[in-house]
Amino acid sequence: MKLSWLSAALLGAATTHAVDTVTAVGNKFFTSKGVQFFAKGIAYQLTEDDPLVDAEQCSRDAALMKTLGTNALRVYHVDPKADHDKCMSVFDNAGIYLMIDLDTFDTYILPNDPWWNQTQHDRYTEVMDTFIKYDNVLAFFVGNEIITMRNQSNVAPYIKAASRDMKTHRDRKGYRKVPVGYSAADIAELRPMLQDYLTCGGNSSENVDFFALNSYSWCDPSTYLTSGYDNLQKQAKDFPVPILFSETGCNVPGPRLFDDQEAIFGPEMIRDWSGSIIYEWIEEANHYGLISYGPPVAPTATGASVKGGFVRAGTPTPVLPDFDNLSKKWASITPTGVASSDYNPSHVSTRACPASTPSGWLVNGNVALPTLGETFKGTYTPIPSATGSGTTEPSPTSTKNPAPPNREIAGMSAGLVGVMLFFTFWL
């Protein structure tokens, strides 16, 4: 297909860089020019395959994303052996950063029988080695919603071990310090403990560089208080690393008004939160899409760009009114933040490692992390924290959290489909 003049312009030269690199300092992201970075992002996964290999498709999508005000994408699955230069250049020239998940369909850290082995390690580092060269890589995730039930929190040290080893690989290679973090399901009984645990113990080489949350608790019409965002903010106040929403955008009852963006980028939360990723770009049966590539087709239909009853390539067309609602909302929000030269990270809190709780948090305080190749033996060895005894018990919050969307192809963690509805409750 012949590219339009706009698409061709967006492709640009592979050596042209439109964005500044971003790093984490304290609880904020800053560009290399010292400007605080806030994500106005979209979850981007057209099929289970790598979406960053088709330059023409990336060009079409980037052009429309730019009109929406997008500055970040989250991509759940990539092929480290593929050529990403053209797509990454397209998004770079559109001013769009990428947050990349390091795991693949066969290397997830499993919640009920956890292990962290050499195969997983090498596959994660393959992805990092492939994408580290791009200036518009914003961050890497070591996992997505690994913990989805109360009895799965014993896997948390394995998440932290993956963070430790990916940061070690990054630093030994002399790479740019792209932040390494984790994307959590919003489970009110465990969220405060998990986010504290992943940043506790006093050893920054083991802790995540940022924490992200997949939350669908704000369902328009709602408010900062009735959605439970006030509870999310209480737990995020002076958090030691950047925290952001890695998925948000409840579509019940619809249409989506995206009023939560005013709270996230507003005075209640702007001091502690670094933005949000809206779920999702492509329209599927779950009706979370901001665009479609054509009307639905029969579920049994086949074709190069057809899967699951939907066309997954072509010219993106806004899904209305959601697309326009988000465009207007983001256009009305221009967070400024603080310059890095004026920022003192000493105000952030050092979190104590949480004690085990009757409500389901199973890791008691700071523990020795699994070594590479170690499988879970049923218990962990306690170790002292560098910052003290480290055994406090955060209070579970009372956020009303509707079930996350059926992610269909994009972003689905192994084994999650059958448990999604478990979390539709009031605590």
Rounded CA-CA distance 117/122 in Å is: 9
- b/e for 392-422, b at 16 or more Cβ within 10 A? ebbebbebbbbebbebbbbbbbbebeeebee
Q: Facing residues of 242 across strands?
A: none
Interacting residues of 267 by C-beta distance below 8 A, sequence separation 6+: none
Rounded CA-CA distance 279/41 in Å is: 9
Q: Facing residues of 37 across strands?
A: 29
Rounded CA-CA distance 180/99 in Å is: 10
Rounded CA-CA distance 392/81 in Å is: 44
Interacting residues of 136 by C-beta distance below 8 A, sequence separation 6+: 17, 18, 19, 88, 91, 92, 96, 97, 98
Task: Determine the longest span between alpha carbons in the chain, in angstroms.
Answer: 64
Measured at the CA of 335, the angle between CA 92 and CA 261, to 5 degrees, comes to 90
- Distances 208 to 109, 161, 268 between C-alpha atoms, Å: 16, 10, 25
Catalytic residue at 145? Answer: yes
CB contact at 8 A, 245 and 42:
no
Q: Out of 56, 189, 206, 247, which one is annotated catalytic?
A: 247
Rounded CA-CA distance 240/225 in Å is: 24
Helix and strand totals (H; E) in the chain: 9, 17
Rounded CA-CA distance 271/294 in Å is: 40
Catalytic residue at 247? Answer: yes
For the annotated catalytic residues, the residue numbers are 145, 247
